[in-house]
Amino acid sequence: MSQQRHGSTPGEAGAVPAFPDLPEATIARLPEYLRALHHLHDGGSDTVSSEGLATAAGVNSAKLRKDLSHLGSYGTRGVGYDVVLLIDQIEYILGLDQHRAVCLVGVGNLGHALAGYDGFASRGFRIVALFDADDARVGEQINGLTVRHIDELSRLAGEEAIAIGVIATPASAAQAVADDLVAAGVTSILNFAPCVLSVPANVDVRKVDLAIELQILSFHEHRKASLTALPGGFAGAGDQEAVGS
């Protein structure tokens, strides 16, 4: 869905290049397919039908087939998809065959958990550095990494190419950190701070706001509650509808 905008591709007409420009919606689902495929692989499956994989990934089978068709014909009619082949293919498209270095800025409550989160390492992402602006936290050891001061970020960038930066700071510090990351050559940012970041067009930003998810659920709770309430009449508590004229 609408994450922050990223650079539109120039209208270059590549004829089925090594990189088909997949619909954004498809890209967002590929990791889900990948997870389901790994699960099937662990369960001993060699092949899987679109119906089976769709169920495992929680989507419609037609959608899944169309998604996969975008990255080429890797299925066999009458049989299904080769699990291993499809895993390799999706991992290639997602660029997971290359281990991307991730750095994490902000080792507070959330950042601390992210630094130790198994789900990153188990899917090929290696956190190579932790940063914080708080001197009290600098030097702390987390999961085998030492927290460094944010000012050292630019120096680290010279030593190791960092592709992805994760921001887990308070909102007030996030923009400055983003600027630092961009200056250090980072071109992808995962932002957990509840604020809008301004970055150059060539930098991708994805935002995860935990509270927003709860608020969306809250809306649905509110909606469901208003439905179970008696349908006829009584417009509930919110009677602050000032009638204009």
Partner DNA sequence: CGCGATTTGTGCACGCCTTCACAAGCGCAT
Partner DNA sequence: ATGCGCTTGTGAAGGCGTGCACAAATCGCG
The footprint of DNA on residues 43-62 (CB under 7 A) is 48-51, 59-62
Site for DNA in 16-45 (CB under 7 A): 23-26
Q: Which stretch binds its own copies (CB under 8 A): 41-49, 92-100, 130-138, 152-160?
A: 92-100
DSSP-assigned states of every residue in 152-198: GHHHHHHHS---EEEE-S-HHHHHHHHHHHHHTT--EEEE-SSS---
Contact between 227 and its own copies per CB under 8 A = yes
* Interface pick for DNA out of 79, 210, 212, 225 (rule CB under 7 A): 79
Residues of span 139-198 touching its own copies by CB under 8 A:
163-164, 175, 187-190, 194-196, 198
Using CB under 7 A, count the residues that bind DNA.
28
The answer to whether residues 116 and 142 touch, using CB atoms and an 8 Å cutoff, is yes
Which of its own copies, DNA, none does residue 237 bind to, with CB < 5 to 8 Å depending on kind? its own copies
Beta-sheet strand order (sheet of 145-149): 141-142, 145-149, 125-132, 100-105, 164-167, 188-191, 204-207
Closest separation in Å from C-beta 66 to its own copies: 14
- Nearer CB in complex with DNA: 81/192: 81
Mask: binding to its own copies, 31-60, rule CB under 8 A, as x and -?
Answer: xx-xxx-------------------xxxx-
Q: Please pick, from the candidates 14, 20, 69, 179, the single residue that binds DNA as defined by CB under 7 A.
A: 69
Could you tell me whether strands 100-105 and 204-207 are parallel, antiparallel, or unpaired per DSSP bridges?
Answer: unpaired
The reply on whether position 94 binds DNA by CB under 7 A is no
Q: How far apart are CA 146 and CA 136, in angstroms?
A: 13
DSSP string, 21-63: ---HHHHHHHHHHHHHHHHHHHTT-SEE-HHHHHHHHTS-HHH
Query: Using CB under 8 A, which of 105, 125, 129, 157 touches its own copies?
Result: 125
Rounded CA-CA distance 179/199 in Å is: 7
Could you say whether residue 179 binds DNA (CB under 7 A)? Answer: no
> Measured between alpha carbons, how far apart are the two ends of the chain, in Å?
40
* Of 51 and 140, CB closest to DNA: 51
Binding residues among 6-25 for its own copies as defined by CB under 8 A: 6-7, 9-10, 12, 18-19, 21, 25
CA 186 to chain centre: 16
Residues 6+ apart with CB under 8 A from 47: 76, 79, 80, 81, 82, 83
Q: Which is nearer to its own copies, 18 or 136 (CB)?
A: 18
Binding site for DNA (CB under 7 A): 2, 23-26, 48-51, 59-63, 65-66, 68-69, 73-81, 244
